[in-house]
Structure 1
Amino acid sequence: MKLYNLKDIKEQVNFSQAVKRGLGRKQGLFFPETIPRISKKKIKKLINETFITRSQKILSIFIGSEIEKSIINKSIQKAFSFPGPKISYITKKILCCELFHGPTLAFKDYGARFMAQILSLLNAEKKSITILTATSGDTGAAVAHAFYKMKNIRVVVLYPKGKISKIQRKLFCTLGHNITTIAVDGSFDECQKLVKKAFNDIEIKKYTQLNSANSINISRLLAQICYFFEIFHLIPESIHNKIIISVPCGNFGNLTAGLIAKSMGLPVKKFILSTNSNNTVPRYLKTGIWNPYKTISTMSNAMDISRPNNWPRVQKILQKEQWKINKHLEYGSVSEESTKKNIKELFKKFNYISEPHASVAYTLLKKSINKKDLYGIFLGTAHPIKFQETVEKILQIKLQKPQVISKIIHLKELSYNIKPNFNTLKKILINHQ
């Protein structure tokens, strides 16, 4: 598999190099030189496979002979060894694809666990690696659990202090061992800025082999393609050509994976790019002006991102495929009031307990399902318990805690607290080898 740097096309790498480097020169994202096309006949066959077998085939198409097929297959089996996606019917025409049945109750488990397996595999020399990543909610837990107690790999996670839920924090700030967590007195974008600065710092590079586990890492992105194919396995074949998928968007990794799946031949009619009040991209698509505002804190905090890292990849796919906005990709943003209103609607009308991110996707989807022959799927990216206080307050009910949460809720948090100061982060990275 050949990839190139979107900011410097002369920088070309293979899959292994892209995974190990995370980012290219000038903070550029790696992108496949070609997206493999699969015939309709083969797509149909793939859809009928089991989730693991299909995922092994999809990822092997991308990775090719670079890593032995049997080794890749074992890595995928290990990475996806948890209950896969589930479909919940809200109405006859609107469905929710629940991607939160993994160990940290969020869709990020797929990408993070695959990346952990691959990186461990590629680290044959057993060098000491530091995974440095920022989280706006769910990435931190998924990455921390995926790499927990792995030899020669240390994880450092930055998160915006006071801006992620208690349960989100408990899932990754209580682990210790090879996991270091840092609460930054600022926004997610400020955390992201610190991470990017660290990757450019010569002194840090001298002492630490850095890698990123955000959705900018190609291994995470490719893993996410797999569950878009699983959606079609879980729904009736009679509606395969009538599907619109609404994706709650923060850093845009999920949407990028979905668009790659569509580019490969998966018959998704259209995607909906759904954001909360942090609506840089919807405004850009409407006006043609890229003008990020200051990040706003919302109840759908994993989407509180004003400068989404994966947007250049989305643009590249749209450009390559010559897909027109509105025909292949709708977009919109949802207010806090509408998010709340539709959490209530899903519960009171359809007896379905949802959380803020899924509600954002549902809100825009139901506006789109106005033609008789279309069916809509919105992605449920996190378990409602991760937003317990918000959901309980809105619905006036008590949520049942899954066992994984009951075990960790009383554990002590082990985070450093810092201002968004690069030198402070630098000291932590260099002094705690």
Structure 2
Amino acid sequence: MKLYNLKDNREQVDFETAVKLGLGREQGLFFPVELPIITPIELSKILKMDFITRSTEILSRFIYNEIPKEILYQHVKKAFSFKHPLKIKITNNIHSFELFHGPTLAFKDFGARFMAQMILLFNKKNESVTILTATSGDTGAAVAHAFYDMKNVKVVILYPKGKISELQEKLFCTLGKNIKTVSINGSFDDCQKLVKEAFNDKILKESIGLNSANSINISRLLAQICYYFEAFSLISEQQRKNLVIAVPCGNFGNLTAGLLSKSLGLPIKSFIACTNANDTVPRFLKNGMWNPKKTVSTISNAMDISQPNNWPRIEELFNRKKWNLKELRFGSVSDYSTQNTLKELFKLGYVSEPHAAIAYRLLKDQLKEDEFGLFLGTAHPAKFKNTVEEILKNDIALPNELKTRINLPLLSYNINPNFSKLKEILLER
């Protein structure tokens, strides 16, 4: 698999190198040189496969013979060794597609665990690797658990202090061992800026084997394509004809993966890019002006991102496929509307959480009479227990994954958004 740097097309690397580097020169994102296509006949066969076999087949279309299919299968099986996504009927023409049945109760488990398997496969010399990543809520837990206690791998996770839910924090800031967590006095964008500074420090990067596990890493992105095919396999022939998928968007990796599934040949009619008040992309799609504002805190905190890293990949894909960006549906939802939507879903017999509620709201508002809609459930409602209980006036039981951690002490450092201080933490043994 060949990938090129979006900021410097002359830099081309194979899949292994892209996974190890995370970012290219000038912090450019890697993007596939070839965009494979699955024919309708092949698609019919692939949709009948089990989830692991199908996922291996999809990933092999990008990776080619760089990893033999039988070896890739074993790593996919280990990565996706948890309950697969569930489709839940909400109304006749709207269903939820729940992606939060993994070990950290979020869709991020797919990408993080596949990346961990790839790092394990490619680290043939057992060299020391440092994974540095920023999280606005769910990435941190998924990455921490995926790499926990892995030999020769140190993980450092940055997150905005006081701006993720208490239970999100408990999931990954109580592990210890090879997992270091750092709360930053600032926003998620401040955390991302620190990560970029670390990658700009060439000596630091090389001395500690620095890599990133954000959705900027191509291995995480490719893994997420797999569950869009699973969603398609679970709906009827009639529902497949005019399928619209609403995606809660933060760093826009999830939507990028969905669009790549469409590029592969999955006949999805349309996607809806769903954001909260941090609406840089909806405003851009409306008026053509890229004008990020200061990030504001909302009850859908994993989407509190004003400068989404994956957006250049989406623009590149639209250019390469000669698609029209104006055909991408979009919208933003206020906290007030999100709360009312949670109540609306509860009356329909479904307990949701703020991120999925935003996707449902925009899907319901934009879905046409002849269309069928899926909205992605990206995290378990219990991760936002206090918020959801206050809105719904209803108790939410804690899953075991959270019960076992709720009373453990936080092990996080706390620093101002200062690179020299972060550098000290990265260099600690």
TM-score with structure 1 length normalisation?
Answer: 0.98
- Match in the other structure for 1:358: 356
- Match in the other structure for 1:108: 108
Paired AA for residue 215 in structure 1: S
| Alpha-carbon distance in 1 for matches of 2:261, 2:389 | 36
| Alpha-carbon distance in 2 for matches of 1:36, 1:59 | 10
User: Which of 229-238 and 16-25 deviates more?
Assistant: 229-238
Between the two proteins, the alignment pairs up a number of residues equal to 429
Q: Deviations over 1:26-73 (max 9, x none)?
A: 110000011101111111111111110100111111111112222111
Tell me by how many angstroms 1:326 deviates: 4.4
Tell me by how many angstroms 1:155 deviates: 0.4
| Alpha-carbon distance in 1 for matches of 2:241, 2:415 | 50
| Alpha-carbon distance in 1 for matches of 2:36, 2:206 | 38
| Alignment pair present for 1:65 and 2:62 | no
Tell me by how many angstroms 1:323 deviates: 1.7
Percent of residue pairs bearing the same amino acid type: 61
- Match in the other structure for 1:311: 311
| Alpha-carbon distance in 1 for matches of 2:113, 2:206 | 28
Output aligned runs, 1:392-431, within 5 Å.
392-430=389-427
Output aligned runs, 1:323-362, within 5 Å.
323-327=323-327, 329-348=328-347, 350-362=348-360
Tell me by how many angstroms 1:403 deviates: 1.2
User: What do you get for the CA RMSD once the two structures are aligned?
Assistant: 0.8
**Structure 1 residue ranges, 4+ long, deviating more than 3 angstroms after superposition:** none
| Alignment pair present for 1:16 and 2:16 | yes
- Match in the other structure for 1:47: 47
Output aligned runs, 1:246-395, within 5 Å.
246-327=246-327, 329-348=328-347, 350-371=348-369, 373-395=370-392
Partners of 2:173 and 2:181 within 8 A in 1: yes
- Match in the other structure for 2:237: 237
Paired AA for residue 234 in structure 1: L
- Match in the other structure for 1:146: 146
For structure 1, the 5+ residue unaligned runs are none
Tell me by how many angstroms 1:301 deviates: 0.5
| Alpha-carbon distance in 2 for matches of 1:125, 1:43 | 38
Paired AA for residue 213 in structure 1: A
| Alpha-carbon distance in 1 for matches of 2:400, 2:205 | 40
| Alpha-carbon distance in 2 for matches of 1:382, 1:42 | 32
| Alpha-carbon distance in 2 for matches of 1:149, 1:165 | 25
Output aligned runs, 1:42-191, within 5 Å.
42-191=42-191
Q: Deviations over 1:234-288 (max 9, x none)?
A: 1112221210000000000000000000011101000000000000011111111
| Alpha-carbon distance in 2 for matches of 1:71, 1:52 | 13
Partners of 2:285 and 2:326 within 8 A in 1: no
Tell me by how many angstroms 1:324 deviates: 2.0
User: Which of 411-420 and 238-247 deviates more?
Assistant: 238-247
Tell me by how many angstroms 1:111 deviates: 0.2
User: SS at 2:404's partner residue?
Assistant: helix
User: SS at 1:90's partner residue?
Assistant: strand
| Alpha-carbon distance in 2 for matches of 1:61, 1:76 | 14
Q: Deviations over 1:264-317 (max 9, x none)?
A: 110100000000000001111111111100000000000000000000001111
| Alpha-carbon distance in 2 for matches of 1:233, 1:65 | 26
| Alpha-carbon distance in 2 for matches of 1:353, 1:423 | 44
Q: Deviations over 1:316-345 (max 9, x none)?
A: 111112222343x10111111111110000
| Alpha-carbon distance in 1 for matches of 2:204, 2:183 | 20
| Alpha-carbon distance in 2 for matches of 1:193, 1:321 | 31
TM-score with structure 2 length normalisation?
Answer: 0.99
User: Which of 25-34 and 318-327 deviates more?
Assistant: 318-327
Q: Deviations over 1:69-112 (max 9, x none)?
A: 22111100000000010000000100000000000000000000
Judged with a 3 Å threshold, the aligned counterparts in structure 2 of structure 1 residues 79 and 206 are, in CA distance, closer, same or farther, namely closer
